[in-house]
Amino acid sequence: MRIMIVTDAWEPQVNGVVQTLKNTRRELETLGHEVAMITPRDFITLPCPTYPDIRLSLLPGRRVCQRLQDFIPEALHIATEGPLGMAARAYALRQNLPFTTAYHTRFPEYVRARFALPLSWTYAFLRWFHGPSRAVMAPTPVVQKDLQRQGFKRVVLWSRGVDLEIFRSERGRRLDSAPPIFLYVGRVAVEKNVEAFLSLELPGSKWVVGEGPALPRLRQRYPKVNYLGVLNLQALAAVYASADVFVFPSKTDTFGLVLLEALACGCPVAAYPVTGPLDVIGDSPAGALNEDLRTACLAALNISRVTARAHAEKFSWAAATHQFLAHLQPVVHVSPIIAELGMG
């Protein structure tokens, strides 16, 4: 099948959306499908207000249309609601082409955290954007039910996986840090609630992997924390394997791929009992969920690394990609000659 995926989130961004799409593309190609991507790399971009690391494509409509016309996809998936997603959506509606969409990010909560806009405004936009989609793919049952309560139609499940070959449970080096090591990996931004972790009184050391607009302020306020920047996958896996507890302070994630990455490296999870951790950890003994994050962190110290790894092994990108494929909608292209005959 010829599959076109349109996304406003792509490299060099490092986030769950990018990792999900990269792994899905790899699995699709392994299955023999031809996959084309429309990403910001193909366009002139401008920095996103309040978050310059995210680049927004400038006036992409004409080129998006041309790419879609040239590729002639047999299935069209629009992954994001940014300028590229908007352009692909508009083209598909004009041409009466079916398409699917995905809900990767708790966008309304992010917007409220940054701009204090009411959730109802952003959800109204998202209902409009996803309304024509033949299937709105949500990563977990909790998110699926949330979207249905917000009035979204045709919401289906598309789970996530983890690369168990890259993320392994061999212990790594400690960087001369006092144990136990508590680790955060992800975007360093207000919506990720990183300060809720850094402000905790915990034994040992704290590590932070990632960058973002909140990083300069947090560096200044918490100078004793080890800030490791952005790492490649191999280095990241080694850091996960070195840590004793992976701390996930976010309350706005839809899934949290980093949870699976940490577990695959044998690192137990401490988090709030919210969407993402509830879906990945649930009632399993692989993590500790508590409204008191410090209590969760200390409890996670007693969780076996073998238990954490075993839980991660239940998630695979192959299974997630088969879910994705099952939801795609076939595009039927009518040649101009056939169209003329039909009109005659």
- What confidence tens digit (pLDDT) does each residue in 268-306 have? 999 999 989 999 998 999 999 999 999 999 999 999 999
Task: Name which of 82, 83, 96, 97 is nearest 4 in CA terms.
Answer: 97
CB atoms within 10 A of CB 262: 32
55 forms beta bridges with 47
Q: If residue 126 lies in a helix (H) or strand (E), which one and from where to where?
A: helix 119-130
Phi and psi for 228 in degrees, rounded to 5?
-100, 0
Mean pLDDT of 233-245: 95
Q: Does domain 2-161+319-343 have CATH number 3.40.50.2000?
A: yes
Is there a shared CATH topology between the 2-161+319-343 domain and the 181-315 domain? yes
64 burial type by CB count under 10 A (0-12 exposed, 13-18 middle, 19+ buried): buried
Reduced to 3 states, what is the DSSP secondary structure of residue 144?
Answer: helix
Parse the chain into domains and list their residue ranges: 2-161+319-343, 181-315
Instruction: Give the tens place of pLDDT for each residue, 18-63.
Output: 999 999 999 999 999 999 999 999 898 887 766 666 788 888 989 9
For the whole model, what pTM was predicted? Answer: 0.84
- Residue 174 pLDDT grade (very low, low, confident, very high; cuts 50, 70, 90): low
Top CATH class, 181-315: alpha beta
150 in Cβ contact with 215 (< 8 Å): no
3-state secondary structure of 145: helix
Give the separation between CA 136 and CA 157, rounded to whole angstroms: 8
